[in-house]
Amino acid sequence: MQVKINGKIEDVASGTLLDLLKSKQIEPQMVAVEVNDKVVDRDRLATTPVSEGDQIEFLFYMGGGR
Amino acid sequence: MDFTEEQINRYSRHILLPEVGGKGQKKIAKAKVLLVGAGGLGSPAALYLAAAGVGRIGLIDSDVVDLTNLQRQILHHTPDVGRPKVLSGKEKIQALNPDVTVSTYEERLTAGNALKIFEEYDVVIDGVDNFTAKFLINDACFFTGKPLVHGGILRFDGRVTTIVPKQSACYRCVFKAPPPPGLVASCQEAGVIGVLAGIIGTIQATEALKLILGIGRPLTNRLLDFDARKTQFREIKVRRNPDCALCGEHPTITELFEDGDPYAGCAVRP
């Protein structure tokens, strides 16, 4: 199924947001996940399915500034 | 307050702008901007805000200038190595524009001092490197109702967003809490391309001036991410989170605290 991840269209297997993170080897604690402009709670990543056409953002923490 | 002939000359390129004019320049002259961190992001922000004629600039930083800072912290020069950053910063600001009053706080921002300091300013600029301080700044701006221009830089990536408390998404609406310390790389390990501080810090200064002038469309409810490798900006829409522990419908954070380990570091990307 096709979704948009961080602005890029990608073909991904069906599954949950947590599955998607795992397939990309992204540690869930390291990102905020937004689907269609709405933040998904980390506790709900394992129960939220990825749907066709979703716009998904994996927002990494950006800490530096000094 | 009236401008002298010299001031009218100094700010003429601002005054010529219909969106600024003499009236707007007076707003800038009356404005008070707090820079938390006189480092990478704070440097360009301080210099441009000083050049713009911001009436009062506050600098908070407990560090002294280190040789490794000079690659990006353009507020500090080689002879400043070993000197307090707030002192070095104050001198540069006043050399650039003696109209500016500089208040210095040679201390770390803490849950104990943040509210009292923030109260005195109109806009706060985040130029710190650790997550504890970033969350503390976000929370202190919420409790004092001060608009915040948040920024972050890492390696080749930068991010900036503006937060107007209770009106737009806050840092905690998106990033609930600092990442666990074990997953975070230290700033020394992470590295950053120096000019990125200039790009992001300058956008932060632009946002601060827009807020002061009340013009344009602020960078609220949007994260502006910059990738220096591709020279590409990307905007990510965000919105207020009703479950936000700070500004949501049932807040659980009701007072300032220091969230996470301030020495855990600053970095992320896998």
Average confidence (pLDDT) over B72-81? 98
Residue of B nearest to A40 (CA): B174
Closest chain B residue to A64 measured between Cα atoms? B129
Q: Are strands B148-154 and B232-237 parallel, antiparallel or unpaired?
A: unpaired
Q: What is the pLDDT of residues A19-54, one digit of tens each?
A: 999 999 999 988 999 999 999 999 999 999 999 999
pLDDT greater than 90 at residue B181: no
What residues in B contact A39, CB-CB < 8 Å?
Answer: 173-174, 238, 241
Q: Is the pLDDT of residue B43 over 50?
A: yes
User: Is A46 in the B-facing interface, judged by CB distances under 8 Å?
Assistant: no
Residue B71 has pLDDT above 50, yes or no: yes
Is ipTM over 0.90? yes
Query: Containing H/E element for B77?
Result: none
A37 neighbourhood in chain B, CB within 8 Å? 237-239
Is B73 a member of any domain? yes
Q: What span, in angstroms and rounded, lies between the C-alpha atoms of B158 and A64?
A: 9
A22 chain-B contacts, CB cut-off 8 A: none
| Strands in B72-187 per DSSP E | 101-105, 123-126, 148-154, 157-163
Residues from chain B contacting residue A65 (CB–CB below 8 Å): 37, 39-42, 126-129, 134, 151-153, 197, 266
**The amino acid at B39:** G
**Domains held by chain B: number:** 1
Q: A60 and chain B: CB distance < 8 Å anywhere?
A: yes
pLDDT at B182 over 80: no
Question: Rounded to the nearest 5 degrees, what angle is found at the Cα of B184, between the Cα atoms of A12 and B263?
Answer: 160
- Mean pLDDT over B43-59 rounds to 98
- Does A66 reside within a domain? no
- Measuring CA to CA, which residue among B147, B109, B194 is closest to residue B33? B147
Q: How confident is the model at residue B269 (pLDDT cuts 50, 70, 90)?
A: very low
The whole-number pLDDT of residue B270 equals 42
Where does the pLDDT of residue B261 fall: very low under 50, low under 70, confident under 90, or very high at 90 and above?
A: confident
Residue with tokens 């601060």: B208
Residue A12 lies in a domain: yes
Output phi, psi for B46, to 5 deg: -60, -45
Strand order in the sheet with B101-105: B101-105, B56-60, B32-36, B123-126, B148-154, B157-163, B222-227, B232-237
Domain of residue B190, CATH code: 3.40.50.720
pLDDT for the residue numbered B186: 60
State the residue for tokens 């001031």. Answer: B7
CB contacts < 8 A (A, B): 99
Question: Is residue A35 a part of any domain in this protein?
Answer: yes
**Domain hosting residue B140, numbered range:** 31-237
Q: Does A27 touch chain B (CB under 8 A)?
A: yes
Q: How far is B178 from chain A (nearest CA, A)?
A: 8
Query: What is the per-residue pLDDT for B267?
Result: 56
Sign of CA dihedral B37, B15, B146, B246: negative
Closest residue, chain B, to A33 (C-alpha): B174
Q: Indicate yes or no: CB of A61 within 8 angstroms of CB of B270.
A: no
Taking CA atoms, what residue in B is nearest to A27?
B270
Please tell me the predicted confidence (pLDDT) of residue B95.
Answer: 98
Flag whether pLDDT at B260 surpasses 70.
yes
Residue from the list A34, A38, A64 with its beta carbon closest to the beta carbon of B153 = A64
User: Between residues 248 and 267 of chain B, which touch chain A (CB distance below 8 Å)?
Assistant: 265-267
Q: How many domains does chain A have?
A: 1
Q: What's the mean pLDDT when you consider all of chain B?
A: 94
Task: Provide the residue range defining the domain that includes A54.
Answer: 2-60
**CATH number of residue A38's parent domain:** 3.10.20.30
- Tens of pLDDT, residue by residue over B213-250, are 999 999 999 999 999 999 999 999 999 999 999 999 99
Residues paired with A16 in a beta bridge: A49
CA distance from start to end of chain A: 41
Phi/psi for B259 (5° steps) reads -90, 120
Residue B41 has pLDDT above 60, yes or no: yes
Whether residue B73 and residue A66 make contact (CB cut-off 8 A), yes or no, is yes
**What's A3-52 look like in SS3?**
EEECCEEEECCCCEHHHHHHHCCCCHHHEEEEECCEEECHHHCCCCECCC
Residue B152 pLDDT level (bands cut at 50, 70, 90):
very high
Which residues of chain A make contact with B158, given a CB cutoff of 8 A?
A: 62
Averaged over B191-211, what is the pLDDT? 97
What is the mean pLDDT of the segment spanning B154-163? 95
